[in-house]
Amino acid sequence: MEKYNIVFNEDTPKYLQIANHIKKLIYIKKVAEGEKLPSIRELSRMLGVNTVTIVNAYNRLEHEGVAIRKIGSGTYAKEKEENRNLLKEYSNIYKKINGGTLKDYIDFTGETTCSEFFPVENFKEALNKVLDRDGAEAFTYQDSLGYDGLRKSINNHFWGGKLDSENILIVSGAQQGIDIAAKAIINVNDNVLVEKPTYSGALNVFKSRRANILEVDMLQDGVDVNMLKKLLKKNKVKCFYVMSYFQNPTGSTYSIEKKKEILNLAEEYDFYIIEDDYLSELIYDENIEYKSFKSLDIYDRVIYIKSFSKIFLPGIRIGYLVPPIKFSEAMQNSKVNTDITTSSLMQRALDLYINEGYWRKHIKLLNEAYKSRYLVMEKFIKSILETKVDFYSPRGGLNFYLRISDKIAMDSIELFNKCKKYKVIITPGVLFYKNSMDGDRYFRLGFSVANIPEIEKGIQIINKLLQ
């Protein structure tokens, strides 16, 4: 019975707190499927609440499909079937969309730029110039570090020549960068810190390394540093995975002060920071200053990862990684063991694309186009969804992260399934947590693929479903 104890807060109705607590117990297997829940009188006495509160909590659990009431017998736990199958369902839907039925859906799941903004003509021109210039050599294997010209261009154009080009490793996108970093520094049972919530692809990498994953709550200006300090005092941590700008999924951006504080903690507690510099090109608020963890790192504690795929051409699969000097050789070996080298032709074309000024023009175009979509989605969320959701504006990036109001008896999985029937696809928050039930009230809306009329129509449908 002790597991049912709960410390109430004043902000949320007690019946909702009780329902959410029991739901989490069911998900993490502390209450087994089919196990009888305490009787209404028994639980009301134990928690010091009236029986109506417990009745409302059990009704909520039954409505959400995680409990079943048997007349004359009591209420029993029941794990939601869609909870177990959500990842598979989400994956299947996404395959269908990518398989050619995109026009049938309003897609709020996109994490990369829309195909209408792909710089096809300019990139085709760059490819032709590379082929004319380099001929068959453009198709040969490069140094395992990557094409020397591209590494120098990255250093000069994005870092002002402050890095050592020999310490820049070209990778096939951010996901491979995270995988390479993890293989180089994380061993079985190492403690790895992640933001809560965080990118599911990173969680999968750390789980595959059989690391112990510790979560730190996200706030609007980065993680909760007090919580981070408590975890560091109790645990020997190997590394901390962070997304410094417009974090996926919350949209949070770290303040420069918080970055400096975390870097100091990394030195004090001897851990490394894996920085996934996600969508930092798309800043819509001039008050946000761009300074990565890596640019502020005086201790050589940051493994910096940047993908070009999200904001350029997803199909070219190019990014880069800058490790601390201590891990340079281990990261290079990890890359070679993964796939030897990234496409030589694409590296050369991207190098020329950057050097001829196309990159700068492309980013300017994206900022203008996506800022207008961002402002439209923000306006519609505020005016249409109003009291049905809670959120804060990220001021950049490609997503909004919303929490369903406690007044609405629906979780993000149910909303996902209902939206799907109306040809609207959202990303349920359960995908971004180590324990997915922590995200059952959250969902992410992206505006990178949907146009302005679709954004309004999709939000109107979500509003109707949340009534």
- Convert the pLDDT of each residue in 334-355 to its tens digit: 888 777 666 788 888 899 999 9
Q: Rounded CA gap, 70 and 60, in Å? A: 15
Q: Rounded CA gap, 149 and 152, in Å? A: 5
Write the single-letter amino acid at 178: I
Per-residue model confidence (pLDDT) at position 37: 92
- What's the pLDDT tens digit per position in 382-432? 999 988 999 999 999 999 999 999 888 788 888 998 999 999 999 999 889
For residue 121, the number of C-alpha atoms closer than 13 Å in the C-beta half-sphere is: 3
Confidence of residue 151 (pLDDT cuts 50, 70, 90): very high
Structure tokens at 115: 């195909």
The H or E element that residue 442 is part of is strand 442-446
Q: CB neighbours (10 Å) of residue 463?
A: 17
Q: Is the model's pLDDT at 10 over the cut of 70?
A: yes
Per-residue model confidence (pLDDT) at position 320: 95
Give strand pairing partners of 319. Answer: 171, 307
Task: Name the one residue in this structure whose structure tokens are 């190019």.
Answer: 318
- What's the mean pLDDT in 193-215? 94
* Torsion from C-alpha of 272, 324, 244, 261, nearest 10 degrees: 60
* 3-state class (DSSP) for residue 174: helix
Per-residue model confidence (pLDDT) at position 208: 92
Considering the domain 2-79, what is its CATH architecture?
Orthogonal Bundle (1.10)
Indicate the burial class of 363 (C-beta count within 10 angstroms; 0-12, 13-18, 19 or more): middle
Write the single-letter amino acid at 465: L
Q: Is the model's pLDDT at 94 over the cut of 60?
A: no
Percent of the chain with pLDDT over 70: 93
CATH assignment of 139-357, among 3.40.640.10, 3.40.50.2300, 3.50.50.60, 3.40.50.620:
3.40.640.10
Per-residue model confidence (pLDDT) at position 232: 98
Classify residue 29 by its DSSP letter: T
Confidence of residue 142 (pLDDT cuts 50, 70, 90): low
Q: With respect to CATH, is domain 82-109+361-465 assigned 3.40.50.800? A: no
Confidence of residue 100 (pLDDT cuts 50, 70, 90): low
What is the model's pTM?
0.82
Confirm if 145 and 151 have CB atoms less than 8 A apart: yes
Distances (CA, A) of 127 to 10, 175, 311, 345: 61, 25, 19, 8
Higher pLDDT, 304 or 17: 304
Confidence of residue 122 (pLDDT cuts 50, 70, 90): confident
Structure tokens at 378: 């923000």
Radius of gyration of the chain from Cα atoms? Answer: 24
Q: Is the model's pLDDT at 90 over the cut of 70?
A: no
- What's the mean pLDDT in 277-285? 94
Task: Name the one residue in this structure whose structure tokens are 């690391």.
Answer: 211
Q: Rounded CA gap, 444 and 428, in Å? A: 6
Cα-Cα end-to-end distance for the chain? 36
Kindly give the residue spans of alpha helices, DSSP state H, lying in 186-275: 200-208, 225-234, 256-269
Per-residue model confidence (pLDDT) at position 284: 96
**Domain segments of the chain as ranges:** 2-79, 82-109+361-465, 139-357
Q: Is the model's pLDDT at 87 over the cut of 70?
A: no
Task: Name the one residue in this structure whose structure tokens are 């070009």.
Answer: 308
Mean pLDDT of the chain: 89
- What's the mean pLDDT in 8-31? 84
